[in-house]
Amino acid sequence: MIRLLACAFAASSLSLPALAGPEDFKPGPAIPTYGKVAAVPDAERLNKDAVFKIAFDTAAAAEPGKVNRTLESAARFLNMHEAVGIPASNIQLAVVVHGGAYADLLKREDNASAPLIAALLKNRVRIILCGQTAAYRDVTKADLLPGVEMSLSAMTAHAQLQQDGYTLNPF
């Protein structure tokens, strides 16, 4: 009897709709081609006057042919918050890049992150390369995509961003 009930429950639960899945992630309003987002109807409502000053950090390069995951996270942050009514003017983001991720900022035909970087820059996101990484890799400002900034170091960039009121996104 217990086995019969367990089988009946298992069979009936297969017909229940899934609550969310990959198909629930849709293009966002700020950067529709990157950073897809899902609606979260049960989330606490955000104050529409909230101001976000967030710094992201990445040292991990994108896999060949793919975009840098941290850059895509910045696009997702924009899309999520604009989708729930936070004005674009209240969202200030910066991405500090160092280590192997420097390659995602270079002018190269095969740079899959280049269109995303252009879209982020168009949406007022600062992209800042660590100058120490640049020096180690023999990278000059002329090697970088247009709009990419260079700081003395990633540590310096983060210190300055913190002084300007940015908080560090831990992922």
Return the beta strands (E) in 67-120 as ranges: 91-97
Q: Which residues of the chain have pLDDT under 70?
A: 1-20
Residue 93 counted as domain residue: yes
The Cα–Cα gap between 169 and 57 comes to 8
Query: Angle at Cα 24 formed by Cα 62 and Cα 7, nearest 5°?
Result: 115
CATH at residue 54: 3.40.1260.10
Counted domains in the chain: 1
Residue 1 counted as domain residue: no
Residue 8 counted as domain residue: no
What is the tens place of the pLDDT at every residue in 24-48?
Answer: 999 999 999 999 999 999 999 999 9
Query: Which residue range(s) make up the domain with 106?
Result: 22-168
Q: Specify the pTM.
A: 0.87
